[in-house]
Structure 1
Amino acid sequence: MSKRPISDWNERYRHISFWWATVFGAGLLKPAPGTWGSLVAVIAGYYLINTGISFTLLSSLIVAITVLSAFAIDHIEKVSGIHDAPEIVIDEVAGQWIALLPFYFFTPMLYDYMVAFLLFRLFDIWKPWPIGLIDRKVTGGCGVMVDDLVAGLFAAVVILAGHVLLF
């Protein structure tokens, strides 16, 4: 399996797994498709939280997205031979939404969403231990998903700690 752009996969547009994994094309935006995927996720998360979605339902959506995405990414890898193409950004959605979960424990302001976005991107790009280790060692669709889930968890912990310490 090689890590290269998904544009090398000639039949990509015919597969629902492609559209799902690229968040219906958001991952095709340049530059920095992961940042675009995170931006879509934080905007959708802002909408969901502010229209009253429960903690349990958002958590369930994260789990469902994670499971469906692991299968979709496995399918992409099987038919294309491409591993973790930069255009695959569904992992950013799940991770970014984890970073938003602390907002159920205090009333977030708009800047809190910006902080969650920036912290998640920082941990996703920097990949401190154990995120980097997970990224290198876990393969397949689970591997693509899990490092972003942990990055989201790191961001959530920092947001909660910051809120407790500062307020």
Structure 2
Amino acid sequence: MCILTRQLSHREPDVALLLSHPLHFVSLGLGSGLFPKAPGTAGTLLGFPLFWSIMQLPIWQQWLALLLLFVFGIWCCAFTGRALGVSDHGAIVWDEIVAMAAILVTVPATWAWAVAAFVLFRLFDILKPFPIRWADRHVGGGFGVMLDDGLAAVMAIIVLQLMQRWL
């Protein structure tokens, strides 16, 4: 038996939705996802305070925290996607926040590396080279929302690690 799911209507995110449920507040990036221009970039910037809040922890605890936030994001983003009628609406930016924090864990704590991490992540997130584009198109729901940004983070981390070795 095949069960088809569909989303019946599309709703634009607004402050009322943001404040209507804690999961919407989180998935919409504490409001940064409501920015009219470049909400993904605004959300990515929130990855910095998330990283700063965990950076004093031992590295294994940082990764554990990020893994838990990734898993929480699957649930959170799916919840808001259903409310919006669009699985990966541009206003859902929790995925960018967690991904940016993960990248920052891997680079030296300097402004130059932070800027490089930000720029590379945004490039991979926007351009979506393989396998990011494949995941974006073929993996749905909250896991799909989190996965494509997770892959963009992995690609940025690889480039940044190569840069660190080269420099």
CA distance in structure 2 between the partners assigned to 1:41 and 1:92 by the alignment? 7
Q: CA RMSD in A?
A: 2.3
CA distance in structure 1 between the partners assigned to 2:9 and 2:99 by the alignment? 21
Partner in structure 2 of residue 157 of structure 1: 158
- Could you tell me the TM-score, scaled by structure 1's length? 0.85
Q: Which amino acid aligns with 1:159?
A: L
The 5-angstrom pairing of residues 85-100 of structure 1 reads: 85-100=89-104
Superposed structure 1 runs of 4+ greater than 4 Å apart: 2-5, 8-12
Contact 1:22 1:90 in 2 (8 A): yes
User: What number of residue pairs does the alignment pair up?
Assistant: 161
- Could you tell me the TM-score, scaled by structure 2's length? 0.85
Distance apart, 1:109 and its partner CA: 2.0
CA distance in structure 1 between the partners assigned to 2:136 and 2:9 by the alignment? 13
CA distance in structure 2 between the partners assigned to 1:59 and 1:33 by the alignment? 25
CA distance in structure 2 between the partners assigned to 1:3 and 1:55 by the alignment? 43
CA distance in structure 2 between the partners assigned to 1:3 and 1:153 by the alignment? 34
Partner in structure 2 of residue 16 of structure 1: 22
Unaligned runs of 5+ in 2: 1-6
CA distance in structure 1 between the partners assigned to 2:164 and 2:81 by the alignment? 40
For residue 121 of structure 1, give the secondary structure of its aligned residue in structure 2.
Answer: helix
Contact 2:81 2:89 in 1 (8 A): no
Unaligned runs of 5+ in 1: none
Distance apart, 1:6 and its partner CA: 3.6
CA distance in structure 2 between the partners assigned to 1:40 and 1:12 by the alignment? 16
Distance apart, 1:75 and its partner CA: 1.8
CA distance in structure 2 between the partners assigned to 1:157 and 1:3 by the alignment? 39
Distance apart, 1:80 and its partner CA: 3.8
Higher relative contact order (CA 8 A, sep 6+): 1
The reply to whether residue 77 of structure 1 matches residue 81 of structure 2 is: yes
For residue 82 of structure 1, give the secondary structure of its aligned residue in structure 2.
Answer: coil
Instruction: Describe the shift of the 1:87–1:155 C-alpha distance in structure 2 as closer, same or farther (beyond 3 A).
Output: same
Q: Which amino acid aligns with 1:132?
A: R
